[in-house]
Amino acid sequence: MRLTSATYLAVLSGLASSPRLARGSPVASRQEASSCTEPASRPEWRTLPDDTKAEYISAVKCLTTKPSRIGLDTTLYDDFPYVHAQLNLDIHFVAQFLPWHRLFVHLYETALRDDCTYTGPMPYWDWMQDSGTFPSSPIFSNSSTSGFGGTSAGGWVSPARPNPLTSCVTDGAFADFNVTYYTLSKQSHCLNRAFNNGTGTEAEANWEAADYSTATIANITDNSADFKTFWPALENTPHGAIHAVIGGDMVPQTSPNDPLFFLHHAQVDRLWWIWQQVDPETRNADFSGNKNQAPDETPAALTDVMPYLGLGPNMTVSTVMTIENDVLCYTYV
Ligand SMILES: [Cu+2]
């Protein structure tokens, strides 16, 4: 999907009327509203040439050679699962789910560029294309330079089993790749995947294909009139299914251990953006629902501050309601 100039203007006008900018500079013109004149493109993973895929994957691995940015004795790579796990209850099943992960992926992209000299684009993984044929998705390529690899030998095992950390990825660029955290503890282990072909019911068979099909996404997008309807539908069903079907390290709160996490969440972010484009004037400012997990019913607000524990500056939700602004500057192609 490409932005037309009409939608681009609509995005800018939504930005200019956001509370954050309106308060700071009441006479800001549309041009002054954003310094983002050449947004970076985010393409689908399988459209990248092999050398760009290889460059992306080596930048991801490079993060394991850089020091923690938040004062841990582990690496910059580990900061991401660590922060995500610490904040788990504040960023899931709450309105902040989408904006928090939007900025989280951006922080990751920025680390790949600034700390690991990556020059290519941040890719997303359109798993709708893999609904019904999940294990044969090209993203699971066994190329040792440009493939994320597939599942472990032995198939699905519950993450609750006594030793949950033995489903090692054995092919692709992350074969025998080690990660450091597991849930809230430091527990070094091989990157785990254990593809889960549903749990037996009709609806969940075939890799839960129905949960992330094109038809399901269209249904969510078309039938969610407001943010508080759209976000839980996206989080609970397609987003959750992809975590569950991959299994292994994608299941616990340290799921950013799996490098696929960031391509998955770029896709979730893209789907939010597509939903916003249907009516940008309204939807670029539509943020509503519960601020905290039940039973706290405090309503969420654009002025809510999103925490990142030092990985990046804490920011208000309003800062990331669009993807082409002073802080974020990218678009999906
Ligand atoms: Cu998350």
Containing H/E element for 108?
helix 97-114
Query: In angstroms, rounded to a whole number, what is the distance separating the alpha carbons of residues 324 and 220?
Result: 24
Q: Which of 39-43, 134-138, 149-153, 219-223 has the lowest mean pLDDT?
A: 149-153
C-alpha 114 to ligand 1 mean position (Å): 23
- Over residues 28-48, mean pLDDT: 81
- Residue 114 predicted with pLDDT over 90: yes
Sorted by where each starts, the structural domains of the chain and their CATH numbers stand as 5-332 (1.10.1280.10)
pLDDT band at 165 (very low <50, low <70, confident <90, very high): confident
* pLDDT value of residue 7: 29
- Over residues 245-267, mean pLDDT: 96
- Residue 189 sits at φ, ψ, to 5 deg, of -160, 165
Query: In angstroms, rounded to a whole number, what is the distance separating the alpha carbons of residues 321 and 271?
Result: 13
* pLDDT value of residue 34: 79
C-alpha 47 to ligand 1 mean position (Å): 25
- Over residues 57-62, mean pLDDT: 98
* pLDDT value of residue 156: 59
Nearest Cα residue to 231 out of 216, 222, 220, 219: 220
C-alpha 4 to ligand 1 mean position (Å): 31
C-alpha 226 to ligand 1 mean position (Å): 21
Top pLDDT among 260 and 167 is at 260
Query: pLDDT tens-digit profile of 285-306?
Result: 999 999 999 888 899 999 999 9
* pLDDT value of residue 193: 93
C-alpha 272 to ligand 1 mean position (Å): 15
Q: Which residues contact 246 (CB under 8 A, 6 or more apart)?
A: 151, 193, 195, 196, 258, 260
